[in-house]
Each structure stands twice: as C-alpha cells, then as structure tokens.
Amino acid sequence: MTVLADRFGRHFPYLRLSLIEACNFSCSYCLPDGYKADPDAPGLLRIDEIERLLRAFARVGLRKLRLTGGEPTLRRDLTAIIATAAKIPGIQTLAMTTNGCLLRKRRADWQAAGLNALNVSVDSLDRQRFAAITGHDRLPDILAGIDEALADGFPVLKLNAVLLRGLNDEQMPAWLDYLRERPIAVRFIELMRTGTNLEYFQRHHLRAQGLEDDLQARGWSLLPRAPAAGPAREYGHPDYRGRIGIIAPYSRDFCAGCNRLRVTARGDLRLCLFGNIGIPLRPQLQSDDDADALQASLLSQLGLKAAGHGLHEGNTGLTPHLASIGG
Ligand code: SAM
Ligand code: SF4
C-alpha cells in the first residue's frame, strides 16, 4: 500500500478532522468573546463528502481519526458521522475531542456507533476556576459524565488541561487526588500562541518544565515511549492508577515526531496546525469518480509539509484560534 510520507521521512497515519468551527463555550485562550459565525463561509462538509475524504485517507494509510472542532458535539449528525467513519476499513482508533457538554446525554450513542477514544477538556478541577476559564459553570456535569464513561469501561479516555499561569497552575494536589483511583490520563498542554491571543499568551503562557520537575520530585517517572505514540511525554507512579502526560509544543524536536494532518470543517487540508497554506479538497469530494485524483493530491501535497512550525519566531500561520482549524 502507498502511504502518506513526507520528505523528512515522517508518516501520517493520523487525521484530525474538524466537524464545525462553532462552539458553545468561550474559553479565555481560544474564543474569549464566544464564537462569531462568518455569514459568507461555505457550508460544513456533508456526510457524503466526509465519507469520500476518509476513504481516500484510508487508502493511503489512515489508522487513527480524531473528530474535533470547534465543538464537534454541536453537529446534529455526529452519531451518523461516527457510524460512517467506523465502517471504513483501516481506521482502528476513532477518537473525538470535546468540551464534554453532551457527554452524559450522548456518550452511549457515540460508543454504540463506534467511537472508541475520547479526550475531554477539563482545564481546572475547581468549579469556580473552570467557570472563569470556559465561561460555563458545567464542571460537575462533565466530571459526572467522565466517571460514568469510566464505570462503563469506555475504551480510551483522556483529559486535556491547558497550562495557564495564574489561572490553573496551583492545582497539582487536586489532580493527584483525582488520579489516585482513576485509570485515566490527563494531558497538560502548554498554551500555544495563535493569531488572536498574543497578549493573553504573554500573560499566561507557562513552560511545562517546572511541572515535570515537580512530578519527578513527587516520585513520578517518565514512561517509555510507545512506537506510535504522539507528542506527549507520559509519567506514571506506582501509587496512582492515573497517568500524566505533558505536551510541550515549544520544546525542541516536538515537530520531528509529527504524525498528523488536519482537515478543516469546510474541507481544506492543513499540513500543520500553524502552517501558511490550506489546500481545498472539496472539489474532489463531490463524486466517487474523483477518488484517484483525490488520493494523488494527498500524496503530492505532502511534499509541501515543512519540517517544523514557526512558533519560536512568533509565526502562527493561518490559525486565528484553534477552534478555527480543529485543535
Ligand atoms: N471544543 C473541543 C474541546 O475544547 O475539547 C475541541 C476543540 S479544542 C480547539 C481542542 C483542544 O485544544 C482543547 O483541549 C483545548 O483546550 C485546546 N486548545 C485550544 N486553544 C489552545 C491554545 N491556544 N493552546 C493550547 N491548547 C489549546
Ligand atoms: Fe470551544 Fe474547545 Fe475552544 Fe474551548 S477550546 S472555546 S471548548 S473550541
């Protein structure tokens, strides 16, 4: 099988597909003023377009699909999209990243349709802090949804927390309590600078190194990296059932292990979260007859993927905020 590879020898079995840019939350680092619709934007990818897209990616080695957004659970046809993706041969991991607002109501439907991995964003375990960061007082409901998923044995469950200086950086004891008995991984993600959050970034960006030093001092140790693992550095501790991952996009070599591509909710291929080009795939998603042409475009576009992002130089590329592309 021909697989997607770039000129730096990296392979791309992982696609993050944004289903929608809209979001009902207003996280202070992402959409501080809430989502504002663009009345001139073309419609979102339809299910038939999504199916052709995924079949083309599957033919060139797609193994892991993550549905994201904006808030993907705002799509009314989400369960049907999951079911469509689940029947495409080759996709082994069918994941979604969500703010958790519909976890309690819909998780069983998504699971029955074939979803087998979930990342839920929980920036703070403190109810007031959570409400201040996200603009919504929903923490108890979201945490209950996570515990229900754990009790039902949902296959892979992870939490995402963006590290924010002065907003959620003194909560390690609460996280350690949380992880003692829960077999769940929390990922602390360094805040990334985007096109619209420069001032916020300067105020709240916190390097993950201090947190890693703290973990090691508390007896947590770095776990060996699995061969197909993503960019997280994972820590474990014999007294805890949970694990802690660190995602540090500003660290050296972060891009060397890149294994993912992105497609926006309107069908543009993005080679990098912070790249300068979006390649419209939509014209080739209208008919099954275009499958070969679509596959050929995917293979040739990969030649344009750069070695790394330009964040160190302050270049955030086309990304005004992560909701626009699928974080
Ligand atoms: N709405 C869903 C959610 O929040 O989980 C999915 C989309 S959101 C853009 C995906 C992930 O990106 C979330 O975990 C969010 O916290 C993270 N994120 C958003 N903006 C970020 C930034 N500037 N730096 C680091 N992570 C960010
Ligand atoms: Fe919405 Fe997710 Fe952005 Fe928060 S991080 S505003 S939940 S898209």
Q: Which atom of ligand 2 is nearest to the CA of 321?
A: 3
- The pTM (predicted TM-score) of the whole model is 0.94
Ligand 2 site, residue 323, Cβ cutoff 6 A: yes
Query: Is residue 262 scored above 80 in pLDDT?
Result: yes
- Tally the residues of the chain: 327
Per-residue pLDDT tens over the stretch 30-73: 999 999 988 888 899 999 999 999 999 999 899 999 999 999 99
pLDDT of residue 146: 98
Of the pLDDT bands very low, low, confident and very high (cuts 50, 70, 90), residue 113 is: very high
CA 26 to ligand 2 centroid distance, Å? 6
Per-residue pLDDT tens over the stretch 117-138: 999 999 999 999 999 999 999 9
CA 71 to ligand 2 centroid distance, Å? 7
pLDDT of residue 322: 83
Query: Is residue 172 scored above 90 in pLDDT?
Result: yes
Residues with a CB atom less than 6 Å from ligand 1: 23, 29-30, 68-69, 71, 97-99, 121, 160, 162, 189, 191-192, 194, 197, 322-323, 327
Query: Which one has a higher pLDDT value, 276 or 242?
Result: 242
Q: Which atom of ligand 2 is nearest to the CA of 99?
A: 7
pLDDT of residue 325: 73
CA 27 to ligand 1 centroid distance, Å? 9
CA 68 to ligand 2 centroid distance, Å? 10
Among 16, 26, 31, name the best residue to mutate to test ligand 2's pocket (greatest count of ligand atoms within 8 A of Cβ): 31
Q: What is the secondary structure of 81-142 as a DSSP string?
A: HHHHHHTSTT--EEEEEE-STTHHHHHHHHHHHT--EEEEE-S-SSHHHHHHHHS---HHHH
Per-residue pLDDT averaged across 11-34, rounded?
94
Measured by CA distance, the residue closest to atom 8 of ligand 2 is 70
Per-residue pLDDT averaged across 70-86, rounded?
97
Using the Cα atoms of residue 174, residue 178, residue 181 and residue 184 in order, give the sign of their dihedral: negative
pLDDT of residue 318: 67
What are the beta bridge partners of residue 156? 117
Q: What is the mean pLDDT of the chain?
A: 91
Q: What distance, in Å, lies between the first and last C-alpha atoms of the chain?
A: 29
Nearest to 310 by CA among 276, 269, 259: 276
Task: Name 54's Cβ contacts closer than 8 Å, sequence gap at least 6.
Answer: 15, 17, 62, 65, 84, 85, 88, 91
Q: Which domains does the chain have, with CATH numbers?
A: 14-324 (3.20.20.70)
Ligand 2 site, residue 302, Cβ cutoff 6 A: no
- Radius of gyration in angstroms for the set of CA atoms belonging to the chain, rounded to a whole number: 19
Query: Is residue 305 scored above 70 in pLDDT?
Result: no
Per-residue pLDDT averaged across 182-194, rounded?
94
pLDDT of residue 41: 87
Ligand 2 site, residue 78, Cβ cutoff 6 A: no
Name the closest ligand to CA 120: 1
Query: Which one has a higher pLDDT value, 292 or 229?
Result: 292
Per-residue pLDDT averaged across 76-101, rounded?
97
The C-alpha atoms of residue 326 and residue 37 are separated, in whole angstroms, by 16
Per-residue pLDDT averaged across 244-257, rounded?
83
User: In the chain, pLDDT over 70 holds for what percent of residues?
Assistant: 95
Query: For 263, phi and psi rounded to 5 degrees?
Result: -130, 130
CA 103 to ligand 1 centroid distance, Å? 17
pLDDT of residue 233: 92
Ligand 2 site, residue 23, Cβ cutoff 6 A: yes
What is residue 307's DSSP assignment?
S
309 close to 274: Cβ distance less than 8 angstroms: yes
Name the closest ligand to CA 325: 1
Per-residue pLDDT averaged across 276-294, rounded?
91
Measured by CA distance, the residue closest to atom 4 of ligand 2 is 27
pLDDT of residue 39: 86
Query: Is residue 254 scored above 80 in pLDDT?
Result: no
Q: Which of 150-159, 218-227, 263-272, 275-284 has the highest mean pLDDT?
A: 150-159
Edge to edge, the sheet with strand 185-190 lists: 221-222, 233-236, 243-247, 185-190, 156-163, 117-121, 93-98, 64-68, 14-18, 260-263, 268-270, 278-280
